[in-house]
Amino acid sequence: MTNDTVTGIARTAGRRGFSPARGRVPARRRPISARLLDGALTLPALAIYIVLMVVPVGYAVYYSFTTYNGIPSQSPTWVGLDNYRRIFEDPANEMHSSVMVTATIAIVGSLLVNAIALGLALLLQRKSRFNSFGRAVMFYPHVLSALIVGFLWQALLGPQGAINALMETMMGSRLPFLSDPTWALWTLIGVIVWAQFGVQLVLYIAGLQAVSVDLLEAARIDGASRFQVFRHVTWPALASTVTVTIITSVLSLLKAYDVVLGLTNGGPGGATQTWAYEILAVSFPNNKVGLASAQAVLLIIAAGILSFSIIAMRRKAESGSEAVG
């Protein structure tokens, strides 16, 4: 291609509104009716979202300021902040402990889920027949219903479960997996981690496949050790994946309910009652829809604050990853 030809193309492009200096084509202004029509294409999805999400949440917020038993023929009574006051004052000493249990599960659980998922992703990232089998096996627990997972592990870890029976036969002693409050909480976290890490594993494997092979190769040629390659190339490049996996795991663990139901049913002595359990298994069955709604609203707010905090904290790491990627 000669210089003349290039100049000719540039001139033609300039006439069509392409400015080589600016390097982009400004969008041609479309008629307002066409743009309104484009916006209208979102209406069906928006309608479903509003009816199924916005309206119920709006009702929940309204009910949280009332005393209401959930029966349509009986009207809610406005009580202002009474439900919230009950939660914060916690006269029966039941809700604050649920918050602590939920926070422990969310923080420790998400750290473990992500650490295990990332470690296994690093092991299983190369494509091979064994690794494909390994990925399927690792993902399998997530396919099971959380309630089934709870019952399954209860059968294994209960005082007369398979594991304790085996231990008693071999060592003459048992472990209080589900009968001691502290053990029960850590057992619950372990079971939740086992059931959850499959999804994060898939996300990490996808993230690892997006890491630049050239950069990894260059680092190795420069004499970097495996740890240094991970520390300075792989980890920064995974920043956006890490943000997503942390947020999704924290949000998922904040809602822990069905595993609790199947494994410990909140016991022993309420030691493993989570916030979601408090809402769904305590307040709702007792027809305290107003109180349950206030608890749910606080859960939504907590989830929102945590999500945005994680995003804010990860922003710096992600901007660094762009430089690497």
Partner 1 sequence: MSANMRRRIGWITIATASALALTACAPTASDEQPSTDGEVGGEIRMLVNITDNLTQDKWEALVAPFEEETGVKVKIEGPTGQSVAESFPTLLAAGTAPDVIQSVFPTTDTAPEILDLTDFDWAAETPMADTYATDGKINVVGVGMQAQSVLYYNKDLFAAAGITETPKTWDEFDAALEALAASGVKTPIAFAGDWATGVQTQQIWHPQQNVTTPHWQSAVADGDSSLSEQFEPLFEHLSDWIDAGYTTADDVATDSGTHEANFIAGNVGIYPMGSWFSTTLAGTPPEFEVGVFSPPVDDATAYPGPMGATMASPYMIWKGSKNLSSAAALVEYLVTDEDAIATAATMDDFSRPGLDVSTNEYAGLVQQLIDDAPSLAVPGNQTVGDDALPVAGFNPKFTELAQTLWQGTSAADVAANLDAWFEAERTE
CA–CA dist 252, 197 (Å, integer): 11
Q: Give the containing element (helix H, strand E) for 300.
A: helix 289-324
Nearer Cβ to partner 1, position 109 or 258? Answer: 258
Nearer Cβ to partner 1, position 238 or 280? Answer: 280
**Residue type at 322 in one-letter notation:** E
Output the smallest distance, CB 40 to partner 1, in A: 5
Contact between 217 and partner 1 per CB under 8 A: no
Nearer Cβ to partner 1, position 207 or 262? Answer: 262
In 3D, which of 256, 274, 264, 255 has the Cα closest to residue 96? Answer: 274
Contact between 190 and partner 1 per CB under 8 A: no
Output the smallest distance, CB 94 to partner 1, in A: 7
Q: Are 299 and 106 in contact (CB under 8 A)?
A: no
Which of 13, 25, 40, 206 is the binder for partner 1 (CB under 8 A)? 40
Output the smallest distance, CB 208 to partner 1, in A: 39
In 3D, which of 107, 136, 135, 142 has the Cα closest to residue 121? Answer: 135
Beta bridge partner(s), residue 19: 24
Contact between 267 and partner 1 per CB under 8 A: yes
Nearer Cβ to partner 1, position 96 or 316? Answer: 96
Contact between 210 and partner 1 per CB under 8 A: no
**Residue type at 106 in one-letter notation:** A
Window 73 to 102, contacts with partner 1 (CB under 8 A): 73-74, 86, 91-94
Residue 75: DSSP 8-state: -
Q: Are 18 and 25 in contact (CB under 8 A)?
A: yes
Nearer Cβ to partner 1, position 49 or 140? Answer: 49
CA–CA dist 142, 245 (Å, integer): 15
Joined tokens for residue 132: 């494909």
On the 0-12 / 13-18 / 19+ scale of CB atoms within 10 A, 87 is: buried
Output the smallest distance, CB 192 to partner 1, in A: 18
Contact between 325 and partner 1 per CB under 8 A: no
Which of 13, 48, 54, 137 is the binder for partner 1 (CB under 8 A)? 48
Output the smallest distance, CB 162 to partner 1, in A: 13
Contact between 19 and partner 1 per CB under 8 A: no
Contact between 221 and partner 1 per CB under 8 A: no
Nearer Cβ to partner 1, position 25 or 52? Answer: 52
CA–CA dist 310, 295 (Å, integer): 22
Q: At what angle do helices 289-324 and 239-254 cross, to 10 degrees?
A: 170
Nearer Cβ to partner 1, position 172 or 269? Answer: 269
In 3D, which of 117, 104, 116 has the Cα closest to residue 256? Answer: 104
**Residues engaged in binding partner 1 (CB under 8 A):** 33-34, 37, 40-41, 43-45, 47-48, 51-52, 67, 69-74, 86, 91-94, 158-160, 174, 176, 178-181, 184, 261, 265-271, 273, 281-282, 284-289, 291
